[in-house]
Structure 1
Amino acid sequence: MKKMLLVALVAVLGLAFTVPASAFESEFGGYWRTRMFTNDNFSGTDSDSSLDNSKIDTRTRLYYTAVLNDNLKFVNKFEWDTTWGDNVGGDIGTDGKILEIKNSYVDATFGMVNAKIGQQGLVLARGFIFDDDYSGINLTVAGATSLVYMKIDESDTTNMNDDNQAFVVAHAIKGDGFTVTPLALYADLEDSSYTYMIGVDVDANLGAASVWGSFYYEGGNYDPTDVDQSAYLLAVGGNVNLSDMVGLHGQVFYASGDDDPTDDDAEAWTEVGGQSYYWSEIMGFGVFDDVVSNGSPADKVSNITAINLGTTIKASEKLSFDADVWYAMLAEDDVNGEDYLGTEIDLKATYMLIDGLKLEVIAAYLFAGDATYNGSDDDDPLEFGTQLSLSF
């Protein structure tokens, strides 16, 4: 597999340098970041845990696009990650052994229809439904209607009835300062199971303020247990600029949970795969998305109610500060009859060292509730770290 990835990278780069320059244009880009962070007391117990650690890691992404003409592009994105000191590229010698193909797809325009075919990224409902890479087809008609085919799983090549795949239809209705996007997803799962999500995203620009909302229902049926799905996700948020230097932002989201896992009703909001909604630093992954505190669903938002209020202060052209407070509780009690995850305070300073090179310093503390403590009397979770990043 590693040899195949290396061959693919060499082939793409070889194409860029061997085909005559007049045949197409080449676009290069990328992203790099190095993080140094420590998290402690994440396990919810009095003993040491793999959830508590200190480490330094680096991520590198390189992008290459061959622009063949105004209507045809070949897009590729490569990635490799290393933890300093590991044996896959972070140890002495630094001979990396892992190369990932994040994206590789054709971007073609046929009149009013744009088609992206291959391995590509997609965001649905701000990540509450999907925010990841996938293999499939994305058709956009007249810049407003999206038709998506997504292959979720093809692990059983001997039984085509066990294929997992999803179909998405969305249409953006744009007005004066607002966009309303109805969306429907149907996932055909193995063993004749299926699920569907239907709802709407709303975005409005009110001048100095902006607001957004996402409202979705999930239904379906899971064989052979014959369990019926019925779940909800509701989210609203917004921000307002009080001045050129000070802004306020906030959000509230609710994802239903299952009040009785033993009955024939599945009431917890459930992903089809690829859901990723980052929120707070400790409970919701945040910048240091390594682990989260005990009891939290992390970016796979389900069985939770969370409330956020924060501010951004732009002290100068290069320096800004963010402060956020998060309150979170489970929508349904855990096995110990607890629901309060805690109240979290996140602080971040961002400084542009030189044009293009950004430094972030982050500190977070969770005043943990009983649903995080898991019946123990451990200290509150805390996290501290820095991140240096650039993109081009």
Structure 2
Amino acid sequence: MKKNLIVFVALLAAVAVALPAFAVDFKYGGVMRVRWISNDNMADGLDGDDDNNNLFDQRARLYFDFVGSENLKVVTKFELGDITWGAGDTGDVGADGKDVEIKNLYLDFNIPNTPINAKLGVQGIVAMKGWIADDDFSAAVFTMPFEPVKLTLGYIAAQNEDATDESENVDDFFIQVDYANGPFSGTLIGFYQYAHDALEVGQFEGATGFGQALDNSLFDLGVALGYKADMFDVNVNFVKNFGSYDLAGGGSGDYTGWAAEAIANVYVNNFTFTLGGFYTTGDDDDDNDVDYFIYPYKSGSHYWAELMGLGVLDKFGPSANDGYSAGDVPSNLYTVYAGVAWQALEATKLSFAYYYIGTAEDVESEPGKMDDSVGSEIDFRLTQKVVDGLTLDVVGAYLFADDAYSTNDQDDDAYEVGARLQWSF
């Protein structure tokens, strides 16, 4: 692997030297992070079990753009890691790892004599702040700006593992309209995922399948509204699941779930006060319909609280109760939260947040009993600028667990602490 990486870096250097002869600019950058993470009771919610982690890890992302003109460029992003220090699966005591990934590789160009920009290849796509999509995809995206409106059309190849069998495909199509004028902003998006016969019922992001589905279609309609003034801003997001499927053994069902989120920030001197929350539906009956909020397959990723929502220390997520989904794909879950951030010094920021977390529909809290209260989470974060763009984040989170946190007779509290050094260059 060392030899391959040296050859790769040498090739990039040779290309950079030769580029002026071809009138091509070369731009580069990246992000490097090193973290310490320690947590307890995030998997099963029991103090007596061996459910804790304590480790260091690191990751680097390298960005290289080859720019022919303002109308044409190739964008590449590579990821080196994640490497857990001392882990044998990455080589000798965490060294000599073989984990090099292509995050992005796409052609970005403007179509002549039109206002259309095209991006073709593996690229990052974000839809509705991760309530629909936030990941890297094999995709074709076309953007047309008509100020103050921007229109985006896209296709995502979510799955094509068997090129000879179309029934195994998962194909995504979306159309998005963005509006921005003065303090007002808005987004309207329609996201259609046709899973053919490839998935089980409900086997989308954050859900577990339960039976083979045929002609499996999911359509998300999303609306986002925002208003930003000097002293405050308000944002509202809403996504509704539509679509249907046929069961292999007969019968059919519909996707009926929805998610809603509202966030308000107030700015007073060096303080930012935040009040917000979200609600995602759960299943309320035993029919064939999927009533819980569902995410397109391999697409959703909405980060929120530190411990329950995969915050800065996102290596481990909660998995204490399969009646709801937390992490970055919340479903059958709601939260109400309040927070304050203080810019104490030019280089120092302190943040505190409180979350109350519950389930939309009751889940199993212990054998034979149901409940809807997951608990209360408290998050603390110190952000310190160190030197030349290097930032230190120190994070602590504690969950006061209630009965719905796990399916055990006893629900013990969970915590997570750690730190991250990160340099964006």
TM-score, shorter chain, exceeding 0.5: yes
- One-letter code of the match for 1:84? W
From 159, 176, 185, give the equivalent of 2:191: 185
Which is further off, 332-341 or 210-219?
A: 332-341
Determine the structure 1 residue equivalent to 2:268.
Answer: 242
Superposition map of 1:333-344 within 5 A: 333-336=362-365, 337-344=370-377
Measure, in 1, the Cα distance between the counterparts of 2:11 and 2:164: 32
**In the TM superposition, what is the alpha-carbon distance from 1:21 to its structure 2 partner?**
4.7
Please, which of 288, 291, 295 is the counterpart of residue 267 of structure 1? 291
Mapped to 1, the partners of 2:339 and 2:183 lie a distance apart of 24
Aligned equivalents of 2:12 and 2:160: distance in 1?
26
CA distance in 1, matches of 2:264, 2:191: 26
CA contact (8 A) 1:248 1:310 kept: yes
Taking the aligned partners of 1:93 and 1:253, their CA distance within structure 2 comes to: 40
Partner of 1:31: 31
Q: 1:9 to 1:181 in 2, by over 3 A?
A: farther
Q: Deviations over 1:65-111 (max 9, x none)?
A: 00111100100000021000113446447212110000000110123
Shift of 1:3: 11
TM-aligned CA deviation for residue 333 of structure 1: 1.3
Distance 1:4 1:163 in 2: 33
Deviation at 1:2, TM superposition (A): 12
Matched, 1:232 2:258: yes
Structure 1 SS opposite 2:409: coil
Note the C-alpha offset of 1:355.
2.6
Aligned to 1:281: 306
Q: Please, which of 125, 132, 136 is the counterpart of residue 133 of structure 1?
A: 136
1:121 is the counterpart of 2:124: yes
CA contact (8 A) 2:37 2:313 kept: yes
For the residues of structure 2 that align with 1:18 and 1:145, how far apart are their CA atoms?
A: 38
Task: Write out per-residue CA displacement over residues 187-219 of structure 1, whole angstroms, 9 at most, x where no aligned residue.
Answer: 111221101011311121122111111112111
Match for residue 83 of structure 1? 84
1:16 alignment partner in structure 2:
16
* Equivalence for 1:324: 353
Partner SS, residue 104 of structure 1: strand
Please tell me whether the aligned partners of residues 128 and 237 of structure 2 are also in contact (alpha carbons under 8 angstroms). Answer: yes
Deviates more, 1:56-65 or 1:20-29: 20-29
Q: Percent of aligned positions with the same letter in both sequences? A: 35
In the alignment, what sits opposite 1:292? Answer: 317
Shift in Å, 1:160: 1.3
Instruction: Work out which of the residue numbers 190, 199, 203 in structure 1 matches 2:226.
Output: 203
Distance 1:5 1:255 in 2: 44
Unaligned runs of 5+ in 2: 198-214
Q: What is the rounded CA distance, in whole Å, between the counterparts of 1:4 and 1:234 in structure 2?
A: 47
Deviations 1:209-268 (A, max 9, x none): 11111112111112325221111111111211011x1111122111111123x4111111
Query: Taking structure 1 as reference, are residues 4 and 153 closer, same or farther at Cα in structure 2, changes over 3 Å only?
Result: farther
How big is the shift at 1:4?
A: 9.8
In terms of mean alpha carbon deviation, does 72-81 or 7-16 score higher?
A: 7-16
In 2, Cα distance between the equivalents of 1:37 and 1:160? 43
Give the ranges of 4+ consecutive aligned residues of structure 1 lying more than 6 Å apart after TM superposition: 1-10
- Secondary structure of 2:105's partner? strand
Separation of aligned partners in 1, 2:238 and 2:411? 37
2:394 to 345, 355, 361: 361
Contact persistence 2:179–2:187 (CA under 8 A): yes
Residues 3, 335 of structure 1: alpha-carbon distance in 2 compared, 3 angstrom cutoff: farther
- What is the letter of the counterpart of residue 342 of structure 2? I
The residue type equivalent to 2:379 in the other structure is: D
Displacement of 1:332 in angstroms is 1.1
Determine the C-alpha separation between the residues in 2 that align with 1:6 and 1:131. Answer: 32
In the TM superposition, residue 19 of structure 1 has moved relative to its aligned partner by 3.6
Name the counterpart of 1:176. 182
Report Cα offsets for 1:138-185 as digits up to 9, x if no partner: 110126001010111112222113210111101112232111111101
The residue that corresponds to 1:376 in the other structure is 409
Q: Look up the equivalent residue of 2:410 and give its one-letter code.
A: D
Task: Decide whether the 8 Å contact of 1:2 with 1:98 is kept in 2.
Answer: no
Q: Does the C-alpha gap of structure 1 residues 100 and 7 become closer, same or farther in structure 2, counting only changes over 3 Å?
A: farther
C-alpha distance in 2 between matches for 1:93 and 1:131: 29
1:249-298 residue CA offsets vs partner (Å, 9 max, x unmatched): 122111111123x4111111111122111111111111111222323521
Q: CA deviation at 1:374?
A: 2.4
What is the Cα deviation at residue 47 of structure 1?
3.7
The range that moved more, 81-90 or 272-281, is 81-90
> In the aligned structure 2, how far is the partner of 1:275 from the partner of 1:341?
22
Residues 46 and 376, structure 1, Cα contact 8 Å, conserved in 2: no
Q: Does the alignment pair 1:109 with 2:113? A: no
CA contact (8 A) 2:85 2:93 kept: no
CA contact (8 A) 2:357 2:375 kept: yes
Report the Cα distance in structure 2 between the residues aligned to 1:351 and 1:314, rounded to whole angstroms: 10
> Quick one: which amino acid aligns to residue 139 of structure 1?
F
The structure-2 alpha-carbon separation of the partners of 1:38 and 1:93, relative to structure 1 and needing over 3 Å to count, comes to closer
Is structure 2 residue 330 aligned with structure 1 residue 301?
Answer: yes
Letter in 1 for 2:52: D
- Cα distance in structure 2, aligned partners of 1:196 and 1:93: 43
Q: Does residue 1:310 correspond to 2:339, yes or no? A: yes
Structure 1 length-normalised TM: 0.93
Counterparts of 1:66 and 1:88, CA distance in 2: 34
